[in-house]
């Protein structure tokens, strides 16, 4: 432990107490899955059954929230806003940022298909901390600064009459709360969704209390307990937010198109019941065991998708910080490790794939040092701004280019991932593009028993079904790969203050160290990892510390 890392640890312990979040349910271990690792060792089917238990907590929450006055106000204000030719803007960070972009994409897709009138094309927008580039990879430390959220609201040009729906799983993400501050200043209607008890947040976290107690903010408390994988809010927290925010947006689309809205809690229960059926559980278990075997043999997986590309891309991108997997690498980079899983649309080039997926131009950030200094960014970040502009984003080739780098090993596998019969265009493009892969898998979720329930304007239930299936697959695969201890993601990346805290708490529990010593060990491990060669596959700081104790 160097003097520098020790000072950084002491600063975190003394001055960043607002990021010590172990008291929040979303950061705690769920007793329903405490033996998750053992269940998967018993059998993948037992592991899937264990994972799925926790989604029932989302159902219980949804019944409460859908009956609330706050939810009714959310749905009614959305409709009023859009009918008055103003915008509904979703904002989020990480998993909720990707959700915000997905909700916008679902709306724009409905317009593109002619389900919603063309005049409402730009009625829904989104803000993701770090801009669209953060779809691909988290922009380190951006979530820690409210000023960054303020700036993104300004750049989107929100104004009086617009509506902000801010989504933060924990209820404490600084950048998302920054969007709340600026939207209020601009006289927008503001709704705030989160997954921890409101009174707990208000009692312990100053920035959360400021938003929760502001009478201009309508708060929807979506508390549904700890995650199936401790701290992994991409799971039940984001599912609940997708269900509630998506249902309100669906109701708006139904009102505009004259179709009848669903009983969303009942529909979600029907979805969960179908996913829990033995035939579906067996199919999910068989596939995730197959994917784990591919990785064990040094292979990679490339998903080929069209309509649900953003859903699959989201799950795949989120595996990197959750399980410390190699991130997506840019075109021309032959030194960085290849990502274990990747996503491509074989029908289009990368730029056209993004257009077909988002139905709008890319919205990336081009902040220079001057802008970052003005926002109060730390010296290290402001002096060397990250490249997160459109040109950098397009270096991640998600279209029909550069296929050969995905089929280098005999174990590299092409997976045609669909939800129902693939379109003729997708099937033909896949056959044409993938002959050099030695292994092929056709994964049709509907044949596995994943249900396609009601046809609503935005297809929310389809997107929820894909999300739940993929969460199970990616989590179960990583448990089989040894990247989970009990029900803790023991290969987590400590890339921001929240994740530093989570890493320290995990070390504290598994290595039986006190919290302060665990923080010091994590900072020392981060320093050691930073000195590793650029082309090396870095370990998780948690794993590096645990290797000395367990």
CATH number for 83: 3.40.50.10490
When pLDDT is cut at 50, 70 and 90, the band that residue 511 belongs to is: confident
Indicate if 20 and 108 belong to the same structural domain. Answer: no
Mean pLDDT in residue range 273-296: 98
Mean pLDDT in residue range 528-532: 87
Indicate if 452 and 542 belong to the same structural domain. Answer: no
CA distance 423 to 427: 6
Mean pLDDT in residue range 65-86: 98
Quote the tokens at residue 444: 């049709």
Indicate if 180 and 108 belong to the same structural domain. Answer: yes
Say yes or no to pLDDT of 491 above 90: no
When pLDDT is cut at 50, 70 and 90, the band that residue 550 belongs to is: low
**By C-alpha distance, which of 404, 366, 401, 400 is closest to 385?**
366
Indicate if 19 and 51 belong to the same structural domain. Answer: no
Mean pLDDT in residue range 58-66: 97
326 three-class SS: coil
Question: Which region among 21-25, 32-36, 190-194 has the lowest average model confidence (pLDDT)?
Answer: 21-25
Quote the pLDDT of residue 22.
Answer: 86
Indicate if 175 and 272 belong to the same structural domain. Answer: yes
Indicate if 99 and 73 belong to the same structural domain. Answer: yes
If 0-12 CB within 10 Å is exposed, 13-18 middle and 19+ buried, where does residue 197 land? middle
* 462, 480, 498 - which closes a domain: 480
Quote the tokens at residue 409: 């090993």
When pLDDT is cut at 50, 70 and 90, the band that residue 540 belongs to is: confident
Number of domains in the chain: 2
pTM assigned to the model = 0.93
Mean pLDDT in residue range 13-37: 92
For the ranges 24-33, 178-187, 531-540, the one whose mean pLDDT is highest: 178-187
Q: Residue 482, Cα to own-chain centre: how many angstroms? A: 22
Indicate if 149 and 267 belong to the same structural domain. Answer: yes
- The per-residue pLDDT for range 138-181, each reduced to its tens digit, is 887 899 999 999 999 999 999 999 999 999 999 999 999 999 99
- The per-residue pLDDT for range 413-453, each reduced to its tens digit, is 999 999 999 999 999 999 999 999 999 999 999 999 998 88
Q: Where is 364: in which H helix or E strand? A: none
Indicate if 400 and 527 belong to the same structural domain. Answer: no
Say yes or no to pLDDT of 294 above 90: yes
Say yes or no to pLDDT of 99 above 90: yes
Backbone angles phi, psi at 370, to 5 degrees: -60, -45
Indicate if 448 and 497 belong to the same structural domain. Answer: no
> How many CA atoms lie within 13 Å of 268's alpha carbon, on the beta-carbon side?
26
* Beta-sheet strands, E only, within 347-506: 413-418, 439-444
* 480, 498, 520 - which closes a domain: 480
Indicate if 20 and 40 belong to the same structural domain. Answer: no
* 464, 480, 496 - which closes a domain: 480
Judge whether 172 and 205 are in contact, CB under 8 Å. Answer: yes
Quote the pLDDT of residue 498.
Answer: 83
Backbone angles phi, psi at 424, to 5 degrees: -60, -40
Mean pLDDT taken over the chain: 95
Question: Which region among 8-12, 375-379, 505-509 has the lowest average model confidence (pLDDT)?
Answer: 505-509
Judge whether 485 and 231 are in contact, CB under 8 Å. Answer: no
Question: Which region among 242-256, 365-379, 451-465, 536-550 has the lowest average model confidence (pLDDT)?
Answer: 536-550
For residue 259, give every residue at least 6 positions away whose Cβ sits within 8 Å of its Cβ, in sequence order, or none: 456, 457
CA distance 146 to 377: 10
CA distance 441 to 439: 7
Indicate if 261 and 374 belong to the same structural domain. Answer: yes
Mean pLDDT in residue range 96-102: 98
**3-class DSSP string for 234-284:** CCHHHHHHHHHHHHHHHHHHHHHHCCCCCCHHHHHHHHHHHHCCHHHHHHH
Say yes or no to pLDDT of 455 above 90: no
What residues make up the domain containing 112? 36-480
Indicate if 94 and 18 belong to the same structural domain. Answer: no
When pLDDT is cut at 50, 70 and 90, the band that residue 324 belongs to is: confident
When pLDDT is cut at 50, 70 and 90, the band that residue 497 belongs to is: confident
Say yes or no to pLDDT of 535 above 80: no
């Amino acid at each position: 432990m160097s003097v520098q890392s020790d000072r950084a640890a002491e600063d975190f312990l003394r001055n960043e107490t607002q990021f010590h979040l172990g008291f929040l349910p979303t950061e705690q271990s769920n007793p329903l899955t405490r033996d998750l690792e053992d269940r998967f060792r018993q059998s993948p089917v037992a592991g899937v059954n264990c994972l799925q238990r926790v989604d029932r907590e989302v159902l219980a929450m949804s019944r409460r929230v859908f009956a609330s006055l706050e939810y009714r106000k959310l749905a009614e204000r959305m409709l009023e806003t859009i009918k008055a030719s103003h915008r509904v803007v979703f904002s989020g960070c990480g998993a909720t940022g990707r959700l915000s972009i997905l909700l916008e994409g679902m709306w724009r897709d409905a317009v593109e298909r002619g389900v919603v009138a063309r005049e409402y094309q730009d009625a829904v927008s989104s803000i993701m901390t770090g801009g669209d580039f953060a779809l691909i990879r988290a922009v380190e430390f951006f979530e820690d600064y409210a000023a960054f959220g303020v700036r993104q609201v300004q750049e989107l040009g929100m104004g009086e009459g617009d509506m902000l729906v801010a989504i933060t799983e924990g209820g404490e993400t600084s950048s998302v709360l920054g969007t709340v501050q600026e939207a209020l200043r601009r006289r927008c209607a503001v709704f705030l969704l989160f997954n921890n008890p409101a009174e707990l947040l208000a009692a312990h976290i100053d920035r959360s209390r400021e938003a929760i107690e502001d009478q201009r903010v309508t708060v929807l408390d979506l508390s549904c307990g700890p995650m199936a994988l401790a701290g992994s809010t991409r799971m039940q927290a984001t599912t609940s937010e997708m269900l509630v925010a998506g249902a309100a947006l669906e109701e708006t689309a139904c009102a505009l198109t004259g179709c009848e809205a669903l009983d969303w809690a009942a529909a979600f229960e029907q979805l969960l019941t179908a996913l829990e059926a033995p035939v579906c559980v067996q199919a999910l278990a068989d596939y995730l065991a197959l994917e784990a075997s591919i990785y064990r043999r040094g292979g990679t997986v490339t998903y080929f998708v069209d309509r649900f590309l953003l859903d699959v891309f989201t799950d795949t991108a989120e595996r990197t910080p959750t399980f410390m997997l190699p991130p997506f690498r840019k075109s021309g980079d032959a030194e960085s490790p290849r990502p274990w899983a990747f996503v491509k649309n074989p029908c289009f080039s990368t730029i056209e794939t993004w257009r077909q997926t988002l139905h709008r131009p890319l919205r990336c950030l081009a902040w220079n040092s001057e802008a970052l200094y003005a926002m109060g960014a730390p010296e290290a970040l402001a002096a060397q701004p990250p490249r997160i502009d459109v040109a950098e984003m397009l270096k991640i080739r998600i279209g029909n280019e550069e296929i050969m780098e995905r089929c280098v090993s005999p174990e590299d596998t092409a997976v045609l991932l669909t939800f129902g019969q693939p379109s003729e265009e997708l099937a033909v493009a896949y056959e044409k593009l993938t002959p050099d892969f030695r292994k092929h898998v056709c994964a049709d979720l509907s044949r596995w028993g994943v249900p396609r329930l009601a046809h609503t304007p935005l297809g929310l239930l389809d997107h929820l079904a894909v999300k739940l299936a993929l969460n199970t697959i990616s989590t179960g695969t990583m448990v089989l790969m040894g990247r989970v201890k009990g029900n803790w993601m023991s290969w987590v990346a400590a890339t921001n203050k929240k994740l530093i805290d989570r890493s320290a708490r995990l070390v504290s529990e598994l290595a039986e160290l006190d919290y302060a010593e665990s923080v010091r060990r994590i900072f020392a491990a981060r320093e050691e990892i930073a000195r590793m060669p650029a082309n090396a596959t870095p370990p998780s700081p948690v794993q590096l510390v645990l290797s000395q104790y367990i």
